Amino acid sequence: MIAGSSSHQLLDFIKFLRGRDVPISPADSLDAVHAASLLGYTDRSTLRDGLASVLAKSPYEEARYHEAFDIFFGLPTPRDASSIESSTEPNDQNQSPSEDSQGNNGEQPASPLSALSQAASDSSELSDLLDSSLVRALQSGDEASLSVAIEAAAREAEVDNIRLFTQRGQYTRRLLDALGETDLRDAAIQLEQENPAAFHELQELRERLRLRARDRVERAYLVHTSGDTEEFLDNTLSEVKLSNISPHQMMRMRKLIERMARKLASRHGRRRKRHRRGQLNVPATLRASISTDGIPFTTRWKTVQRRRPQVMAICDVSGSVAAYAKFLLMFLYAVQDVLPRTRSFAFSSTLGEVTDWFEALPVEEAVNAVNRTYGGATDYARAFQDFADQALTDIHSATTVIILGDARNNNSDPRLDLLAEIKSRCKRLIWLNPEPRVAWGTGDSAMLPVIRHCHLATECNNLKQLERIVDKLLADSRR
Amino acid sequence: METSFYQALNDIEGITTDFEQAGYICTTRIATVVYLAAQLNKPILVEGPPGVGKTELAKTCAQVINKPLVRLQCYEGLDEAKALYEWKYGKQLLYTQILKEQLGDMLEGAKGLKESIQRLHSTGDVFYAKEFLEPRPLLRAMEQEQGAVLLIDEIDKADFEFESLLLEVLSDFQVSIPEIGTVQARSKPIVFLTSNDTRDLSDALKRRCLHLHIPFPSIELEARIVAARVPELAGKLTDQLVRFVHAVRELDLKKAPAISETIDWARSLLLLHAEQLDSRLVHDTLNVLLKYEEDIVEAEDQLNKLLKQTTA
């Protein structure tokens, strides 16, 4: 069925793939065109395998690619529409005269058709209309010329510019206008009173045309924009405040977080240890040359020993930040995947390490377990104390400590001296507060004194901010 | 055209049969990618779990087209001196020591530093010539007159920086040596890179490669592979063995047995003159198939169930 496709269609496919989270560079597209011309368009599975090797770059992308290939090339193309689409139409009998309607022609459509043609014999306008190629194609079920007409009209109506699902109606209307459907409508209005039989016949033709047009628009939508809409939704969602995200968006949110973690992983998850190579260690080389009479036969090179960066994340899961906690924990879960040396802690009053849960359990279960065990009323003093007991000695000069919380301590002393001690031991102490900056220090918020004890204190309540902060954090930790 | 060196790779069906004759059963997917690689002059990045025949693919390819296989095994800390080229420092030093007197003769009578230097210049960069260059695998592959197969094994083990080093080699088939200039490949080799997915490779590297993911094979394919590799083994036993391995892969194991382990196991059974799988035989030879004690315990716990699935 791919026969007759051109590189133009291949480029459409690539655009379609891009919309489905498979990034493809222009160079890849060129390779794909080369590969396709080598492999030919006749053997579907060879083409599918060959293009996969050029376009999909990981098992994940490969899965998406195969899915997309089947959707895209499974769709009828304008050229072979007649062979496939006829079976998807609701009223099959009238569609393909070559096959089944020849038998039917004699009995069923004969009488209503004549109603319309009788009406036409009374009115020259109507007979002109019925004589137009479009209506004749509709009446005889000539799929090929109908497809050609629709394609031409689609170009005129710029159907391929469709961007949003809700624009379907609008574009279908435009396509029908371009097809000259208004004349049919006018004729139908006239006939409605005068000749009900002919009216119904005409309405049926119109309905058939409308279905075809909507089909064409939906296909354009699927090919050109399904990706854009997804992207649009994702972008919106990542800028929405975490607490405002409703439960039915959880699935999408989880996917987003996972994708974000994957992105961060590929950007930063590489090597965490580096040697400086290619620089001569002159003193050592000179020393070694003593045994060869000052001629430096053995060379010594500089190396740098590095301490691997370590992240410790502490997440407040108390009632006041419950709405955020879920996402923050999800995010911590993802981060722990990316940075193997991450230790995660959760608290509301007592604090405990949850690293092992994140490693062992799938994300939903892990998050629920943490919430169940550590949820409750906030007590920062207690939490800091627990953290100091459990992990203070493990904090060293390459450790980054991230605290996620609102610093609302029910008006009791948050023991900032402990925070100060943590700060003095670690490389960086970062406080991420889900509350907007203006709310810091209001009511029982102890955020203002907290700022003094942090290297960085910032507002963080949507995915975009979170990603930016973690990206920066990871970039710094590589240096 | 360089591709004329690789005439054996000019059609997909030919590749399938040639590889099969060399003992490598490949799917059309694999054959298609090898074909494309030879035609487009692009490296193949082969990914997949350990032991599914990634390295073997490159070896077979070299065998089929009858070209030398140049292999570069990657490891953490691999650098250009081990992968591209190295100056024979010892030789350079030794020569300067030996030629000390000649240099003295040459510079005799030279007036002042300037003239001495000029005389030295007139000799050219003798100590930075091809003779003092030690080609490492990448350069060696470029230097093969009649084409070659270059295997860069386990690229994911190498450092991130090393990937950038590869980019020039993989896209332009050339090596830049500052002292000499750019060495172009005499004929473009067919390049295979293998990766076990221990880390993500950089986009720049991925972009330059064709991608081939080899998963664990289906039962039918694996049976054909075992039959090709261990033809002496009775067909019925081969069938049983492959189905047993597939059942084992379904278990929750630390390391699932790969094709190479299946083949090893088949060979062991052949040595033991086994006629069919029974619990005793499996019990005695399971350590060929599974490499971790806990996996062996896990499999033995379910041995009867597994055997029932296999012989059913």
Distance CA A231, CA A18 (A): 11
Residues of A in contact with B36 (CB under 8 A): 35, 38-39, 50, 53-54
Contact B211 A52 (CB under 8 A): yes
Q: Residue A351: how many CB atoms within 10 A of its CB?
A: 25
| Phi/psi of residue B27, nearest 5 degrees | -75, 165
Tokens matching residue B177: 């040596």
At residue B286, the pLDDT reads 86
At residue A266, the pLDDT reads 63
At residue A402, the pLDDT reads 86
Select from B253, B255, B252, B302 the least CA-distant residue to B282.
B302
At residue A338, the pLDDT reads 65
Contact A270 B160 (CB under 8 A): yes
pLDDT digits (tens, 9 = 90+) for B178-187: 888 888 888 8
Q: Which residue of A has its CA nearest to B214?
A: A59
Residues of A in contact with B35 (CB under 8 A): 38, 50
At residue B278, the pLDDT reads 81
pLDDT digits (tens, 9 = 90+) for A247-260: 677 777 777 777 77
In angstroms, the separation between the Cα of residue B23 and the nearest Cα of chain A is 22
pLDDT digits (tens, 9 = 90+) for A83-135: 433 333 344 344 334 444 343 443 344 444 567 777 777 777 777 777 777 88
Distance CA A300, CA A288 (A): 8
pLDDT at B193 over 90: yes
At residue B2, the pLDDT reads 44
CA torsion sign, B162 to B165 to B170 to B175?
negative
Q: A197 near A179, Cβ under 8 Å? A: no
Residues of B in contact with A266 (CB under 8 A): 200, 203
- Identify which has the larger pLDDT, A195 or B312: A195
Which of B79, B93, B213 lies closest to A277 in CB terms?
B79
pLDDT at B69 over 90: yes
User: B15, B16, B34, B36: which to substitute to probe chain A, counting the most A Cβ within 10 Å?
Assistant: B36
pLDDT at A18 over 70: yes
Distance CA A361, CA A341 (A): 18
At residue B44, the pLDDT reads 94
Q: A445 near A406, Cβ under 8 Å? A: yes
Which of A266, A270, A275 lies closest to B77 in CB terms?
A275
Helices (H), A392-452: 416-425, 447-452
3 state SS of B33:
helix
Q: Which residue of A has its CA nearest to B48?
A: A59
Distance CA B106, CA B46 (A): 56
Count the helix, strand and coil residues of chain B and give each as a percent rounded to the nearest 5: 55, 10, 30
Contact B207 A27 (CB under 8 A): yes
Chain A residues bordering chain B (beta-carbon distance below 8 Å): 25, 27-28, 31, 34-35, 38-39, 45-46, 49-50, 52-54, 56-59, 62, 265-266, 269-271, 274-275, 277, 295-297, 299
User: B9, B171, B213, B216: which to substitute to probe chain A, counting the most A Cβ within 10 Å?
Assistant: B213
Q: What average pLDDT does the segment B48-74 reach?
A: 90
Which pTM value belongs to this model?
Answer: 0.64
At residue A453, the pLDDT reads 86
Tokens matching residue B270: 């052949």
pLDDT at B43 over 90: yes
Chain B residues bordering chain A (beta-carbon distance below 8 Å): 12, 28-29, 32-33, 35-36, 39-40, 42, 44, 47, 77, 79, 89-90, 93, 97, 159-160, 199-200, 202-203, 206-207, 210-213
Contact B32 A50 (CB under 8 A): yes
Mean predicted lDDT score pLDDT of chain A: 75
pLDDT at B150 over 90: yes
pLDDT at A206 over 90: no
Which of B12, B42, B211 lies closest to A56 in CB terms?
B211
What is the number of helices (H) and of strands (E) in chain B? Answer: 16, 9
Q: Which residue of B has its CA nearest to A36?
A: B36
Helix (H), strand (E) at residue B134: strand B133-135
| Phi/psi of residue A462, nearest 5 degrees | -140, 170
Q: What average pLDDT does the segment A299-324 reach?
A: 74
Distance CA A160, CA A162 (A): 5
Q: What average pLDDT does the segment B184-208 reach?
A: 86
Q: What average pLDDT does the segment A68-75 reach?
A: 73
Distance CA A338, CA A263 (A): 10
pLDDT digits (tens, 9 = 90+) for A162-178: 777 788 888 888 888 88
pLDDT at A364 over 90: no
Helix (H), strand (E) at residue B177: strand B174-177
Cβ neighbours for B35, distance < 8 A, ≥ 6 positions apart: A38, A50, B9, B10, B11, B12, B15
pLDDT digits (tens, 9 = 90+) for B231-289: 888 888 888 888 888 888 888 888 888 888 899 999 998 888 888 888 888 888 888 88
Report in angstroms the alpha-carbon separations of A293 from A91, A284, A289, A301, B94.
99, 15, 7, 20, 13
> Predicted confidence band at B71 (pLDDT cuts at 50, 70, 90)?
very high
> Predicted confidence band at A300 (pLDDT cuts at 50, 70, 90)?
confident
pLDDT at B296 over 90: no
pLDDT digits (tens, 9 = 90+) for A428-456: 888 888 888 888 888 888 888 888 888 88
Q: B34 near B61, Cβ under 8 Å? A: yes
Mean predicted lDDT score pLDDT of chain B: 86
Residues of A in contact with B33 (CB under 8 A): 49-50, 53
Q: What average pLDDT does the segment A37-66 reach?
A: 85
pLDDT digits (tens, 9 = 90+) for A392-404: 888 888 788 888 8
3 state SS of A300:
coil
Q: Which residue of B has its CA nearest to A56?
A: B211
Which of A49, A296, A299 lies closest to B32 in CB terms?
A49
In angstroms, the separation between the Cα of residue A426 and the nearest Cα of chain B is 28
| Phi/psi of residue B264, nearest 5 degrees | -60, -45
Q: Which residue of A has its CA nearest to B10?
A: A38
Distance CA A47, CA A53 (A): 10
3 state SS of B93:
helix
Q: What average pLDDT does the segment B22-38 reach?
A: 89
Residues of A in contact with B39 (CB under 8 A): 38
Select from A4, A17, A19 the least CA-distant residue to A54.
A17
Q: CA end-to-end span of chain B, whole Å?
A: 55
Distance CA A374, CA A383 (A): 11
Q: B244 near B282, Cβ under 8 Å? A: yes
Tokens matching residue B128: 């930075």
Which of B79, B200, B211 lies closest to A269 in CB terms?
B200
Interface size A-B, in CB pairs within 8 Å, comes to 70
Distance CA A343, CA A50 (A): 43
User: B195, B211, B212: which to substitute to probe chain A, counting the most A Cβ within 10 Å?
Assistant: B211
Rg (CA), chain B: 26
In angstroms, the separation between the Cα of residue A477 and the nearest Cα of chain B is 16
Distance CA A157, CA A173 (A): 9
Contact A39 B32 (CB under 8 A): yes
| Phi/psi of residue A247, nearest 5 degrees | -55, -35
pLDDT at A373 over 70: yes
Contact A54 B210 (CB under 8 A): yes
Residues of A in contact with B29 (CB under 8 A): 49, 52
Contact A265 B89 (CB under 8 A): no
